[in-house]
A and B are shown apart, each in its own frame.
Chain A
Amino acid sequence: MNPALSSSPLDLRPASSRQAAAAALRKYRQVVALGIQNHLAYRFNFLARVLFSLIPLTALLMLWRTIYAGQPEGDTVSGYTLPQMLAYYLVAAWVNALTAVTEDDWQIAADIRDGNINHLLAKPLDYLGYRLCLFFSGRIIYAGVALLPLILYVWLAGVPVHVPTNPATWICFLVSLVLTALLQFFISFALAMLAFWVLEVSTFIFIVYAFEYIASGHLFPLDILPETLRRLLPWTPFPYELYFPVSIYLEKTTGPDLWQGLALQTGWVAAGWALARWAWHRGLRRYGAVGG
């Protein structure tokens, strides 16, 4: 395996709680470093992913341009002008690059199915924390790989993307961005826990993904939905997986809606965390350590 992990002081038995915290920090920093090394091996895979995702993105932008062209000059769609609509997709592409789970759920499920968690269980590591560190390092590499193509793309697309000047908007956006990443991760983790019970989890992952795809705003900004759905959706976890931070950035969600949204998002993150933890403990209880 990787020398970085085996040489790390994993079995420190610290005396005080402060030392314990410092040791934990060191431990998980090692995991992040390890994750970065592992993910670097996939950089071309990531690059291919980014480049391929630009094809449907371009298609959606062109589709909207055509729709707006067929309407009277200066018309808006649910309050979106054409540049705002296009900006929505570009900002969403960024948020997605920074927060989306790519392979983590499959890897976790495979770890369980193939019995790879055995050696992790024997170590003083919390598996959820360990996977979170790996997810985090994966996002760093992915965002790093996506940076140049996406910047070039926004520039070439010729869409004036508005940059918020209000520092409060930026703070709320960044907080929401972190919460979005956590929510995505916890949901994926909880879903992958199904591997304790069933052999094949991909169907379940794809079913949830379908709902996430449409209800979190991958296909269109959620404001263009009919009124009833628009009122209902904020109470589900889906908008907080993409739409919400994007709408903060575009200053579509402001004032009381913003605070309510952040509170609900925090609530869903907590619920996701609790679900992930619970599923992990229930799963371990019936775990048979296949493949040993």
Chain B
Amino acid sequence: MERPAPHAPASGSTLPSHTGWLRRHLRVYAALWRNAVTREMTFKTNFLLWIVVELLWFALQLCFIGVLYLHTESIGTWTKWQVVLLVGTSHFIQEIFQAFFLINCANLSELVRTGKLDFLLLLPANSRFLVSLRQVDLGSFVNAATALVVMGYAVHQLGLELTAGRLLAFSALCLCGILVHYSLMFLLASVSFWTVKAQGIVWGYYNLFQLARMPDEAFRGLFRVVFTFVFPVLLVTNVPVRVLAEKLDSPFWPCLLVLLAAGCLAVSEWGWRISLRRYTSASS
């Protein structure tokens, strides 16, 4: 593998300043991107097939909504095209998350099991940065684009007026959603420090985040409380879509999403540090 110049440079200043740190990590990240492109081009068919797989599953979700709305006019107050917008947005958020983080989180248990984590810990860069962003999944950007097309079509069907402010708020909230995805998945992956064989992590993730594409009004009681306040998957997509589709009943929800995204990130950092302390490497 191409080595992302670990000793990259302290050319000029000898004191590790913030901008120096940032510039170094950006350089490392650029090298990781070059790696990703090389890798994808080596297995072209596989790259294309994965895009087909994701497209199929997206189509399947849309079919499900189509079938449901053959039998009903609305789910709570959610109409058909609003739910299509919801499914599209959920897919978009998920694909962007997948592009940057998913494989890396899923691979963490393997790094722990084989002891390869040692190498990453030894590199002169932030270890969470390396573990989280080591690989880039380029195919996911293609799928995120198809999600954007579906979202655009739903917006057109709903006759929504997109103002700059609303789009900006929508994007910012989507970003928070991606952070929630990442933090929860990273937390799940950190569990692999305890139960070394944690293949179930990705499986768990998919089950949990299926909720993100369902209209929040379908849920009640303890279930809704848990998946709103503790694992905020019900906010991840519903809040930005409500903003975009003019369905927001109170500014409380966007504020909550922003707060909880920050909270999840903090908790996952705490979990990561505790986990690392427990890491004893594996015999090689």
Measured CB to CB, the residues of A under 8 A from B are 44-45, 48-49, 52-53, 55-56, 58-59, 62-63, 65-67, 70-71, 77-78, 200, 203-204, 206-207, 210, 213-214, 219-220, 224-226
> B211 and A214: CB pair below 8 A?
no
Q: Does B43 sit at the interface, judged by CB under 8 A?
A: yes
Cα of A273 to Cα of B71 in the assembled complex, Å: 38
Q: How many A-B residue pairs have CB under 8 A?
A: 89
Known: A53-B207, A207-B53. 6 other contacts (CB 8 A): A48-B203, A48-B204, A55-B210, A59-B223, A77-B71, A206-B53
Q: Are B207 and A66 in contact (CB under 8 A)?
A: no
Residues in chain A near residue B246, CB distance under 8 A: none
B247 contact set on A, CB distance < 8 A: none
CB–CB B75/A210 < 8 A: no
Interface SS majority for chain B: helix
Instruction: Tell me whether chain A's interface is mostly helix, strand or loop, or mixed.
Output: helix
Question: Is B230 at the interface (CB under 8 A from chain A)?
Answer: no
In angstroms, Cα B64 to Cα A93, docked, is 18
> Smallest distance from the beta carbon of B127 to chain A beta carbons, Å?
27
Residues from chain A with Cβ under 8 Å of B49 in the complex: 203-204, 207
| Contacting residue for A49 out of B68, B203, B210, B217, CB 8 A | B203
Chain A contacts of B64 at CB under 8 A? 214, 219-220
What residues make up the interface of B, taking CB atoms closer than 8 Å to A? 43, 46, 49-50, 52-53, 56-57, 60, 63-64, 67-68, 70-76, 195, 197, 199-200, 203-204, 207-208, 210-211, 214, 217-220, 223
Contact between A200 and B71 (Cβ–Cβ < 8 Å)? no
Chain A residues near B214: list those with CB within 8 A. Answer: 59, 63
Contact present for A52 and B207 (CB under 8 Å): yes
Could you pull out 17 A-B pairs where Cβ atoms are within 8 angstroms?
Answer: A48-B204, A52-B204, A52-B208, A56-B207, A56-B210, A67-B72, A67-B75, A70-B74, A70-B75, A77-B71, A206-B53, A206-B57, A214-B60, A214-B63, A220-B64, A220-B67, A225-B67
Question: Which A residue's beta carbon lies closest to that of B234?
Answer: A59
- B43 and A200 contacting across the interface, CB-CB below 8 Å: yes
Q: Is A45 touching B200 in the complex (CB atoms < 8 A)?
A: yes
With A62-B219, A63-B218, A214-B64 as contacts: A203 and B70 at CB distance below 8 Å: no
**In the bound complex, do residue A59 and residue B72 qualify as a contact, i.e. CB atoms below 8 Å apart?**
no
Closest to A102 in B: B203
Of A55, A63, A207, the contact of B208 (CB 8 Å cutoff): A55
Which residues of B have CB within 8 Å of A70? 72-76
Within the complex, the shortest CB–CB distance from B112 to chain A, in Å, comes to: 16
Q: Does A59 lie within 8 Å of B50, measured CB to CB?
A: no
**Using Cβ atoms and an 8 Å threshold, which residues of chain A touch B75?**
63, 66-67, 70
The docked-state distance in angstroms from the alpha carbon of A71 to that of B74 is 9
